[in-house]
Homo-oligomer: A and B are copies of this chain.
Amino acid sequence: MSKISDLSRKREVISFAAGEPDPSVLPRKIFGELMKEVFEKVELVGNYTPADGAFELREEIAKFMKKYDDVKTDPNKIVVTIGGSQALDLLGRIFLDAGDIAISESPSYVNTLIDWKQYGARIVGVPVDDSGMITDELEKTVKKLKGERKRVKLVYTIPTGQNPSGVTMIEERRKHLLEIASQYDLILVEDTAYNHLLYEGQPPKTLRSMDKEGRVIYSGTFSKILGTGLRIGWLEGPSEVMDLIKMVKGPTDMCASTPMQYLVIESLRRGIFEDAKKKALENYKMKRDIMIKSIEEKLKGLKFTKPIAGMFILVWLKKGMDGYAFAEELLEKKGVAVVPAAAFYTDDSGKEVIRLNFSMVPPEKIEKGISSIAELLGF
Contacts and interface: CB of A to CB of B under 8 A. Distances in A.
B40 A248 contact: no
Interface string A121-140: 00000000000000000000
Given A31-B39, A259-B230, A251 B89 contact: yes
A10 to B, nearest CB: 11
A251 B118 contact: yes
B31 A44 contact: no
Contacts of A252: 85-86, 89, 115
Contact of A32 (B35, B115, B227, B256): B35
A230 B260 CA distance: 9
A118 B229 contact: no
A228 B48 contact: yes
Nearest to A29: B40
Contacts of A112: 251
Given A251-B114, A252-B115, A229 B31 contact: no
A23 B43 contact: yes
A38 B46 contact: no
Contact of A48 (B20, B28, B40, B256): B20
A73 interface: no
B2 A250 contact: yes
Contacts of A86: 252-253
A182 interface: no
A45 B31 CA distance: 10
B48 A229 contact: yes
Contacts of A49: 229
Interface in A230-288: 230-231, 248, 250-260, 263
Given A118-B248, A259-B229, A40 B45 contact: no
A215 B260 CA distance: 36
Interface string A205-242: 00000000000000000000011111100000000000
A231 to B, nearest CB: 5
Nearest to A49: B229
Given A32-B37, A33-B36, A251 B85 contact: yes
Contacts of A21: 46-47
A40 B30 CA distance: 9
A85 B252 CA distance: 6
A264 to B, nearest CB: 11
A349 interface: no
A50 interface: yes
Given A2-B250, A231-B255, 15 more contacts: A21-B47, A28-B40, A28-B46, A29-B40, A36-B36, A46-B227, A46-B228, A47-B228, A82-B257, A83-B253, A229-B255, A231-B253, A257-B257, A259-B260, A260-B260
29 contacts: A6-B50, A26-B46, A28-B46, A29-B39, A31-B259, A33-B36, A35-B35, A35-B36, A35-B39, A36-B36, A46-B227, A46-B230, A47-B227, A47-B228, A49-B229, A83-B253, A86-B253, A93-B118, A111-B251, A111-B254, A114-B251, A118-B248, A229-B255, A230-B258, A230-B259, A231-B257, A256-B257, A257-B260, A259-B259
Of all A-B residue pairs in the complex, the 3 with the closest CB atoms, nearest first, are A46-B227, A32-B39, A229-B258
